[in-house]
């Protein structure tokens, strides 16, 4: 199984947002950059079979950009990708999928870094390493279990945008 961890793109500043945080959207710049990031991702030719997202607006908007660019049918929302979810909550979601699935998971920091640490090392990390719009690709043994994944690559948005320009 391949699992792509995708942090949502640049969103409106929390300090300037007067509505509930879960409604905070991407900025126009964030949308534009994410389309360029996904253009770079497309050159790597991932054949996503499933796309999951947190239900928060900024993650869903990011997932929609990914969905359109990769011609995917739908986005499935899951509470397992919300900012306060425990990393192990994604396990039942992943273990319901076939072993050859290629899965995109769109979420938030520091949850995405904790999920990366959990899948790679078997414990929750306490550091944030994903830039907004950053993506990591993991090879995960099936059934999915903590500490059994292998990091294939991890890129910042500008690296993916560069790949998209070159190809």
Q: Are 62 and 26 in contact (CB under 8 A)?
A: yes
pLDDT value at 164 more than 90: no
For the chain, give the mean pLDDT: 95
**Three-state secondary structure of 101-155:** CEEEEEECCCHHHHHHHHHHHCCCCCCCCCCCCCEEEEEECCCCCCCCEEEEEEE
Of 19, 6, 12, the residue nearest 131 (C-alpha): 6
**Distance (Å, whole) CA 49 – CA 109:** 24
- pTM of the complete model: 0.96
**Distance (Å, whole) CA 107 – CA 66:** 13
Residues 73-98: pLDDT tens digits?
A: 999 999 999 999 999 999 999 999 99
CATH number given to 2-166 = 3.40.50.1240
Structural domain boundaries of the chain? Answer: 2-166
- Residue 146 CB coordination number (10 Å): 16
Residues 15-68: pLDDT tens digits?
A: 989 999 999 999 999 999 999 999 999 999 999 999 999 999 999 999 999 999
Q: Would strands 50-53 and 149-155 be described as parallel, antiparallel, or unpaired?
A: unpaired
């Amino acid at each position: 199984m391949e699992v792509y961890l995708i942090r949502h793109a640049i969103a409106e500043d929390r300090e300037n947002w007067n509505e509930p945080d879960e409604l905070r959207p991407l900025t126009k710049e964030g949308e534009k950059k994410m389309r360029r990031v996904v253009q770079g991702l497309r050159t790597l030719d991932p054949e996503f079979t499933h796309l999951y997202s947190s239900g928060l607006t900024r993650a869903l908007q990011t997932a929609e950009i990914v969905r359109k660019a990769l011609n995917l049918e739908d986005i499935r929302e899951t509470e397992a990708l919300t900012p306060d979810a425990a990393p192990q909550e994604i396990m039942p979601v992943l273990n319901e999928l076939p072993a050859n699935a290629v899965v995109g998971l769109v979420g938030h920091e520091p949850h995405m870094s904790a999920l990366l640490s959990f899948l790679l090392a078997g414990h929750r990390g306490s550091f944030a390493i994903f830039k907004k719009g950053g993506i990591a690709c993991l090879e995960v043994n099936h059934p999915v279990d903590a500490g059994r994944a292998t990091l294939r690559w991890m890129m910042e948005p500008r690296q993916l945008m560069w790949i998209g320009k070159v190809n």
